[in-house]
Structure 1
Amino acid sequence: MKNRFLELDCLRGVAALLVVFFHVFGDTLSIFRVGITGVDLFFIISGFVIFLSISNVSKGREFVINRVSRLYPTYWTCVTITFTLMCIGDITHKHSIHIKTYLANMTMFQYYLGKPDLDGPYWTMIIEMIFYIFILILFKTKLLKRVIEIGVGVNVLLIANFFMSLKGIPFLNTHYLPMLNFFPLFIAGIVFYKIYYDQKSFLNNYLILIICFLTQIALYNLTRSAGHVSHITYIIMLVIYFTLFILFVNQKLKLIIYKPILFLGKISFPIYLIHQYLLLSMIIPFLIKYCEMNYYVSASIGIVLVILIASLIHRYIEVPVGHKLKSFQKKIFYLQ
């Protein structure tokens, strides 16, 4: 079974660029505000990849080890870099951060620890972590084979809650489980996985995709996109993302495989984590103030520097440290 999809790497690269452009240019060029929806594309990708990952393990601890070794070394590095920069070199002097906030952020569970995200992009990490826990619970309870039925059931509840909220009497408070605001996207990713590997339930799977699509549209006001793009724009972006995945699962997305985008996809995680504070509070203000460059030149240079830094993190932290951590954990849990 393939465990690496070049098309998905390219889509990751596109999603990362969308988010970067949103943060850097969204306030000055309205067209880049659609970049906020890049996280929606990330969530669909995650649904596909995580189900692929859980399908290739025999024990729950293997799944946990895979996720920890994949995410935490890069995440810890980026959080530490950002925290250090906040402490010693904040040019804009807008940030005052406490060590407790840093330590809480290092867990990825700062949302439940009552601490703010150290940097803007970190808010999605708790969304991902809750989804991983959800998948792990299904795996441990032997309900993973029912994930689609369970997913449809939750979608129905979310739709019902939407209509009840229109009457002012919602019965679900997604504040306690923020992953629910993007749950249809994760399930859509899993459905795309099913379509890719099993064409037998072709029609049923596409009907479920429609349910996921409509449910996510209904959840618009609970997403971060609501404050930046219109409902219609959000729908258009979802149509684009779902269409890209339909092309992918039908082997029609090979044309997107382009070396520069593929490279960005491979370093998309560190790009996503490191870019916002580094660009908006450090590099761009520095170039404007001390090099007398205009905003767009400063931003362009800054993006190139962020890509360079992210590539270094990928090469010297994400890949080697991730592999070593994975090997170490396997030894501890007697998996080797």
Structure 2
Amino acid sequence: MTATLPTNTPAPAPAPALEPEPGPRNEPAPPPTSVAPPRLYALDLLRFGAAMAVVLYHTLPVVALRSFVSVEDLVGHPLAKLSAYGWLGVQLFFLISGFVICMSSWGRRPTQFFTSRVTRLMPAYVLAVLITAAVLTLWPDPDPNAHPVTMRRLLANLTMYQFHLGQEHIDPVYWTLVIEVTFYVLFLGLVVAGLTYKRVVAFCLVWTVASFYAQASHSALLSTVLVPTYAPFFVAGIVLYLMHRFGRNLMLWMTLAVTFALAAQSVIEETDARSQRGDQINSTNATLALVAFYVVMIGVACGWFDWIRWRGLVLVGALTYPLYLLHDVIGATIARETLFVLGPYQMLAVTLGGPLLLAYLVYRLWERPAARWIGRNLRSSFAQMRAQGRPRS
């Protein structure tokens, strides 16, 4: 799972009619100019908030268990109550991802889209897999049901498609990445056709309807391709970006309302399943959280948060992905290995701070230089392919 922010944010344009007249908006957008429009810093903050929600959801129960206290005793009742819904941070990630991927893809060629996605996802992911595998090898999980890190499992995890290859995730949070990549593949088809207002609206409508039938058919293949459980979140993000870029109209509001209805059903089903496994949560609170996500993202689309301009949020947003990848297994290992050594609050500080520091080091020392190297060489590869494809005189 993860959403990424481009450097530039296209400025909003007037809203088109439901059937726009012929003109530039009906043609694929031209390549971006060298003028950098304002960045949506609020999205960086939202991404980090979503990541921290997931981190607290995973970390607080582990630290409480190792400290022989309840989560309420560790952090107080209000935070304990909120953290029980931290798993919804993933749904917020997907909502943001739809907005950001549509925004960053406008005016880009398919090769540029492919390069941007690879350079964003793979460097941090590959290193996170290797680090997590090393941690599990040096400090094995004593749980008899834990899966050992074998070479086959490690290699399968490096592809991001380990589950489809019959292997367990080295870190359970990796399941979201397959969903995210599936969205990228679907959206790539739209990028190949050329992004226009009408084509993107059609894509949203077709994916929404198709995912509904995929879920109703109980087809494993269609569910794998169309990810009907999470499609409404991505579609909602795309629709919100269209509102941001072109303005609001009835078609977009209706589509957004449909995505909310489907997303709410997905959240309620997930809440019921988690409550049956022992989580102290209910569907009413989960739905209210979803309402808050939609309201905040509508605010981003409408410019309510354009006053947020702190440049430090660029770094905060950049840490979101490596932190998400590194916090779960490594945090649990830290808590397990510091048992009887640290008190509950010291253990909590180390369990939260250790992955955050590691995420910063991964971003600064590996992710940025690796992304530049991969991007430069992929662009060179595509240039060579285009040159070889030209007819020789």
TM > 0.5 fold call: yes
Equivalence for 1:305: 354
Measure the CA separation in 1 of the matches of 2:214 and 2:285.
23
Q: What residue identity is the alignment partner of 1:13? A: F
Equivalence for 1:74: 124
SS at match of 1:176: helix
Measure the CA separation in 1 of the matches of 2:324 and 2:121.
12
Q: What residue identity is the alignment partner of 1:323? A: R
> Is residue 2:134 matched to residue 1:84?
yes
Measure the CA separation in 1 of the matches of 2:260 and 2:199.
20
Measure the CA separation in 2 of the matches of 1:326 and 1:176.
29
Q: What residue identity is the alignment partner of 1:83? A: A
Which digits, 9 at most, give the CA deviation of each residue in 1:259-283, with x for residues without a partner?
7765432200000000000001x21
Please report how far the alpha carbon of residue 110 of structure 1 lies from its aligned counterpart in structure 2 after TM superposition: 1.4
Alignment equivalent of 2:199, drawn from 141, 146, 152: 146
Please report how far the alpha carbon of residue 17 of structure 1 lies from its aligned counterpart in structure 2 after TM superposition: 0.2
More moved, 179-188 vs 254-263: 254-263
Is there any run of 5+ residues in structure 1 with no aligned partner, and where? 165-169
Equivalence for 2:85: 34
Measure the CA separation in 1 of the matches of 2:381 and 2:53.
39
Alignment equivalent of 1:238, drawn from 267, 286, 290: 290
Measure the CA separation in 2 of the matches of 1:292 and 1:44.
38
> Is residue 2:93 matched to residue 1:46?
no
In the superposition, relative to structure 1, how do residues 30 and 98 fare at CA in structure 2: closer, same or farther (>3 Å)? farther
Equivalence for 2:236: 188
Matches within 5 A, 1:3-14: 4-14=39-49
Which digits, 9 at most, give the CA deviation of each residue in 1:72-108, with x for residues without a partner?
0000010100011111223646451211111111111
> Is residue 2:72 matched to residue 1:20?
no
Equivalence for 1:132: 184
User: Percent identity at matched positions?
Assistant: 26
Measure the CA separation in 1 of the matches of 2:244 and 2:102.
12
Equivalence for 2:335: 284
Measure the CA separation in 2 of the matches of 1:224 and 1:249.
28
Equivalence for 1:325: 374
In the superposition, relative to structure 1, how do residues 172 and 153 fare at CA in structure 2: closer, same or farther (>3 Å)? farther
> Is residue 2:155 matched to residue 1:103?
yes
Equivalence for 2:31: none
Equivalence for 2:7: none
SS at match of 1:213: helix
Which digits, 9 at most, give the CA deviation of each residue in 1:176-205, with x for residues without a partner?
337221001101111111011101x43321
In the superposition, relative to structure 1, how do residues 104 and 45 fare at CA in structure 2: closer, same or farther (>3 Å)? same
More moved, 227-236 vs 312-321: 227-236
Number of matched residues? 325
SS at match of 2:170: coil
Which digits, 9 at most, give the CA deviation of each residue in 1:205-247, with x for residues without a partner?
1221111100112223664884154322221111111111111
Measure the CA separation in 1 of the matches of 2:194 and 2:303.
31
Alignment equivalent of 2:255, drawn from 187, 208, 230: 208
Measure the CA separation in 2 of the matches of 1:269 and 1:305.
15
Q: What residue identity is the alignment partner of 2:245? A: Y
Equivalence for 2:321: 269
Equivalent pair of 2:271/2:282 in contact (CA under 8 Å): no
Measure the CA separation in 2 of the matches of 1:240 and 1:35.
14
Equivalent pair of 2:271/2:286 in contact (CA under 8 Å): no
Measure the CA separation in 1 of the matches of 2:177 and 2:224.
15
TM-score norm. by structure 2 comes to 0.75
Equivalent pair of 1:105/1:118 in contact (CA under 8 Å): yes
Is there any run of 5+ residues in structure 2 with no aligned partner, and where? 1-9, 11-36, 63-70, 72-79, 387-393
Equivalence for 1:167: none
In the superposition, relative to structure 1, how do residues 69 and 159 fare at CA in structure 2: closer, same or farther (>3 Å)? closer
Which digits, 9 at most, give the CA deviation of each residue in 1:10-67, with x for residues without a partner?
1111011000001012573343111000001100111011112221312x12211111
SS at match of 1:180: coil
Q: What residue identity is the alignment partner of 2:246? A: D
Which digits, 9 at most, give the CA deviation of each residue in 1:280-319, with x for residues without a partner?
1x21112223x1422x431222211211110111111121
> Is residue 2:108 matched to residue 1:57?
yes
In angstroms, what is the RMSD of aligned CA positions? Answer: 2.6
TM-score norm. by structure 1 comes to 0.87
In the superposition, relative to structure 1, how do residues 270 and 215 fare at CA in structure 2: closer, same or farther (>3 Å)? same
Measure the CA separation in 1 of the matches of 2:90 and 2:289.
11
Q: What residue identity is the alignment partner of 2:232? A: P
